[in-house]
């Protein structure tokens, strides 16, 4: 097998797959490396906000919700959205993104291969050494490329149960006394429902969060005793995504929203923008810039709760009032972008 590539992308999550798609049919030879046997599966809620609109994810593969329910301090509010939220199984999303780059002459996909070490100009995997002109770290929240660049990581935690019951409402439940500014979520899919908690380690322990989630599942008669929970970290510390000929995308770049945990759209957006930047060094990455504004707005809320944790409940009450206003929804969540 060829050992020298123009571009090596580590990680076939949404960031890596979208980056490879941008480079398809170009003059560059591309190697996409994934440690898992199968592309797609990942512990995730599978929620797609309007920021994913650009990526033409087929409606047939998703469920669409025009309303969402928010719970705070025993009070329930049904909220109508400016843009609907969709849900999609991560296996399906991965396979959809993979399909677009399968069988393309300039792209080699290497699965079941783990990158062990990054060097200047080359990487070492359990299948040997490969050299690169450009390296893209799309290898998630525990990125080896990020470590090589000497960047710190800050994470929140997502814990998820996938239960067989199929329900019809998306729910966000806030319990500031237990999860701080984190929340419990219910995301219905076509064949099951994903239910989990999202929190920062400094605001809740994994043990407490799991206990709380299981109590909720039990009280609401979900079948979970024979289902294994899954957990993963989400890196939200963004320090840039261009480091000479090395790029970071998605979670590896810390692009996940610290406030909502949304990471699929930032992964797709950054993967796309990095691919385009490699093709044209003059490219200004407008979509990423736009997304960073949204991330900044969302994290302003988190900074306030950090500064005054005892006020979290009151900030949430104000937030719940504001988020009912369509203009604020667009300001806080961003809006779809369709232009090519
Ligand atoms: C419980 C939970 C719920 C979530 N819910 C949502 C949601 O509803 N909506 C949303 O937008 N986001 C959600 N997220 C966040 C979202 O899952 C991630 O932000 C998103 O998957 C990031 O995509 P990525 O491509 O950057 O990284 P990943 O999807 O993590 O992909 C990285 C890939 O790199 C591979 N890899 C890692 N290291 C190596 C290595 N050394 N060698 C080779 N391959 C490697 C991995 O196997 C993986 O396939 C959730 C996260 C969690 C934990």
Q: How far is the CA of 325 from the centre of ligand 1 (A)?
A: 31
- Give residue 236 CA to ligand 1 midpoint distance, Å: 12
Whether residue 340 is predicted with pLDDT greater than 70 in this model: the reply is: no
Q: Is the pTM of this model over 0.85?
A: yes
More confident residue, 149 or 79: 149
- pLDDT above 70 as % of the chain: 99
Q: Which residues of 30-62 are buried (b: 16+ CB within 10 A; e: fewer)?
A: bbbbbbbeebbebebbbbbbbbbbbbebeeeeb
**Residue recorded with tokens 């996909």:** 109
| Ligand 1 neighbourhood includes 262 CB (under 6 angstroms) | yes
User: Ligand 1 centre and the CA of 69: distance in Å?
Assistant: 26
326 pLDDT more than 70: yes
Distance CA 229, CA 210 (A): 9
35, 29 contact by CB (below 8 A): no
Is-contact 139 149, C-beta < 8 A? no
Which contiguous run of DSSP H or E holds residue 162?
strand 155-163
b/e string for 263-277 if b means 16 or more Cβ within 10 A? bbbbbbbbbbbbbbb
Q: Is residue 62 lining ligand 1, measured as CB closer than 6 Å?
A: no
Query: Taking the domains of the chain in order of start, what are their residue ranges?
Result: 4-42+90-153+234-307
Q: Domain 4-42+90-153+234-307 adopts which CATH fold?
A: FAD/NAD(P)-binding domain (3.50.50)
Give which of 172, 151, 132 is closest to 5, Cα–Cα.
Answer: 132
How wide is the angle at C-alpha 107 spanned by C-alphas 124 and 270, nearest 5°? 80
Q: What is the DSSP string of 244-303?
A: TTEEE-GGGGT-S-TTT---HHHHHHHHHHHHHHHH-TT---HHHHHHHHHHHHHHHHHH
pLDDT at 121: 97
Average pLDDT over residues 56-69: 92
Q: How far from 161 is each of 45, 91, 168, 186, 193, CA to CA, in Å? A: 9, 16, 17, 10, 8
C-alpha–C-alpha distance, residues 111 and 96, integer Å: 17
Residue to mutate (ligand 1; options 41, 45, 229; most atoms within 8 A of CB): 45
- Pick the residue with more confidence: 112 or 75? 112
């Amino acid at each position: 097998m060829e050992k020298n590539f123009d571009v090596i992308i580590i990680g076939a999550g949404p960031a890596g797959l979208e980056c490879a798609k941008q480079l398809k049919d170009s003059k560059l030879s591309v190697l996409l490396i994934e440690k898992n046997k199968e592309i797609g599966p990942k512990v995730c809620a599978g929620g797609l906000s309007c920021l994913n609109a650009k990526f033409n994810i087929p409606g047939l593969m998703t469920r669409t919700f025009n309303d969402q329910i928010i719970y705070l301090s025993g009070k329930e509010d049904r909220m109508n959205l400016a843009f609907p939220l969709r849900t999609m199984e991560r296996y399906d999303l991965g396979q959809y993104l993979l399909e677009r780059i399968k069988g393309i002459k300039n792209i080699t996909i290497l699965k079941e291969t783990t990158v062990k070490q990054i060097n200047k100009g080359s990487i070492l995997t359990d299948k040997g050494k490969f050299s690169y002109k450009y390296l893209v770290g799309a290898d998630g929240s525990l990125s080896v490329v990020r470590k090589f660049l000497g960047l710190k990581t800050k994470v929140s935690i997502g814990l998820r149960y996938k239960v067989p019951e199929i329900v019809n409402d998306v729910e966000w439940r806030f319990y500031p006394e237990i999860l701080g500014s984190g929340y419990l979520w219910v995301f219905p899919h076509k064949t099951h429902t994903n239910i989990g908690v999202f929190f920062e380690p400094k605001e809740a322990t994994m043990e407490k969060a799991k206990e709380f989630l299981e109590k909720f599942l039990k009280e609401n008669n979900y079948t979970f005793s024979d289902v294994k929970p899954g957990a993963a970290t989400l890196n939200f510390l963004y320090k840039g995504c261009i480091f000479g000929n090395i790029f970071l995308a998605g979670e590896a770049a810390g692009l996940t929203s610290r406030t909502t945990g949304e990471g699929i759209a930032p992964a797709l957006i950054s993967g796309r923008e990095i691919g385009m930047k490699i093709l044209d060094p003059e490219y200004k990455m407008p979509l990423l810039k736009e997304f960073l504004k949204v991330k900044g707005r969302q994290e302003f809320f988190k900074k306030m709760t950090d500064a005054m944790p005892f006020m979290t409940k009151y900030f949430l009450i104000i937030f719940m009032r504001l988020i009912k206003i369509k203009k604020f929804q667009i300001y806080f969540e961003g809006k779809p972008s369709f232009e090519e």
